[in-house]
Amino acid sequence: MSAPLARRERDDLCDLALTLGPDAPTLCEGWDAHDLVTHLLVRERAPVSSLGNVVPALSGLTDRAMARGRERSFGVQVEQLRRPSAPLRLVPVLDRLMNTFEMVVHHEDLRRAQPGWEPRALPAADVEVLWAQLGKGAALLGRRLPVPTVVRRTDTGATTTMRKGPDPVVVSGPVLELVLFLFGRDQVRDLTFDGPPAAVERLRGADLGV
């Protein structure tokens, strides 16, 4: 049996980070690979210090934790990230809930910031994991959407309502591309938007970055 998607994406992200080096660009504005790895470590190993990512008043706390992390060797940090923290190792389901989207999206942040990137064809089982988590996280992710929105996967035609309301925008595409769009990434492919033109414009122009 293969490892859970979150664990495999963690390993692949770490491998790619070591290959590209600490100065490699990412899709996260202002962050290089070293910043990205530091962010993941602060989030996982010092969750209180990472609250500044969601509570602006605590941004200084997070900035200081990031600065301390960047003082450490990049290689050491990557190898620390490769091994989940003790609570996540003891409760693997917690790792899947916390880190499936986190590791997939940030792996793509690193991949898609490099010249010549191409979309990945994920195994069917991994696609189903992402789709299931989209459904479970719809209420949370939908809060950032400015208009009623439905996502439709083009491989099966299945849909999930991300934000309820009349005349929703329907965003269609591969599951991974839908995930990246909902997390505010611009480097996506093969998405279509159908709905009232004004609503489509608002959705496409919204800042969904998380």
Distance CA 150, CA 142 (A): 10
- Assess whether pLDDT exceeds 90 at residue 115: yes
Lowest-pLDDT range, 55-59, 83-87, 124-128, 154-158?
55-59
Distance CA 61, CA 66 (A): 9
Helix (H, G, I), strand (E, B) or coil at 190: coil
Q: Which of 78, 111, 144 is the last residue of a domain?
A: 111
Q: Are residues 28 and 69 in the same domain?
A: yes
Q: Are residues 98 and 149 in the same domain?
A: no
Q: Are residues 105 and 134 in the same domain?
A: no
In a domain, 117, yes or no: no
Q: For 33-81, write each residue's pLDDT tens digit.
A: 999 999 999 999 877 667 657 667 767 777 788 888 888 999 999 999 9
CB 175 within 8 A of CB 131: yes
Which H helix or E strand runs over 43?
helix 33-45
Domain that holds residue 77: 5-111
Q: Kindly report the CATH number assigned to the domain that includes residue 199.
A: 3.30.1050
Mean pLDDT of 176-193: 96
The per-residue pLDDT for 52 is 59
Q: Report residue 108 CA to chain centroid gap.
A: 8
pTM: 0.92
Q: Are residues 98 and 165 in the same domain?
A: no
Q: Which of 111, 141, 170 is the last residue of a domain?
A: 111
C-alpha angle 191-194-195 in degrees, rounded to nearest 5: 145
**Total of domains in the chain:** 2
Which H helix or E strand runs over 170?
strand 169-173
Partner residues linked to 153 by β-bridges: 173
Alpha carbons within 13 angstroms on the beta-carbon side of residue 122 total 19
In a domain, 36, yes or no: yes
Q: Which residues are CB-neighbours of 144 under 8 A, at least 6 positions away?
A: 206, 208, 210
In a domain, 210, yes or no: no
In a domain, 107, yes or no: yes
Query: Average pLDDT over the chain, rounded to whole?
Result: 92
In a domain, 118, yes or no: no
